[in-house]
């Protein structure tokens, strides 16, 4: 994948922590550490959105839909 070079401003203490991770060979570079952190945060935001959408579901209506589907399907199952 093509990469783009950007400039960011960062707190000195946070940059020091990133540099310690690079020195400890946890990451190959500052860029790799920052990319990993941004990717993780974006993934977490997506999961948070999914959880929020699931919380909006009506459990009773969802159960009724599920049970309705089971009844219809069960009548079409072969006898054993």
Listing DSSP states for 15-69 in one string gives HHHHHHHHHTTSSSSHHHHHHHHHHHHHHHHHHHHHHHHHHTS-HHHHHHHHHHH
* Percent share of the chain, pLDDT over 70: 89
pLDDT bracket for residue 67 (50, 70, 90): confident
pTM of the model: 0.60
Q: What is the mean pLDDT of the chain?
A: 87
Q: What is the pLDDT of residues 3-38, one digit of tens each?
A: 899 999 999 999 999 999 999 999 999 999 999 999
Residue 72, pLDDT score: 55
């Amino acid at each position: 994948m093509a990469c783009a070079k950007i400039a960011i401003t960062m707190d000195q203490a946070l940059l020091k922590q990133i540099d310690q991770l690079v020195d400890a060979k946890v990451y190959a570079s500052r860029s790799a550490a920052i990319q990993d952190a941004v990717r993780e945060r974006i993934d977490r935001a997506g999961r948070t959105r999914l959880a929020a959408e699931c919380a909006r579901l009506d459990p009773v209506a969802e159960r009724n839909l599920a049970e309705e589907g089971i009844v219809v399907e069960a009548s079409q199952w072969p006898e054993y």
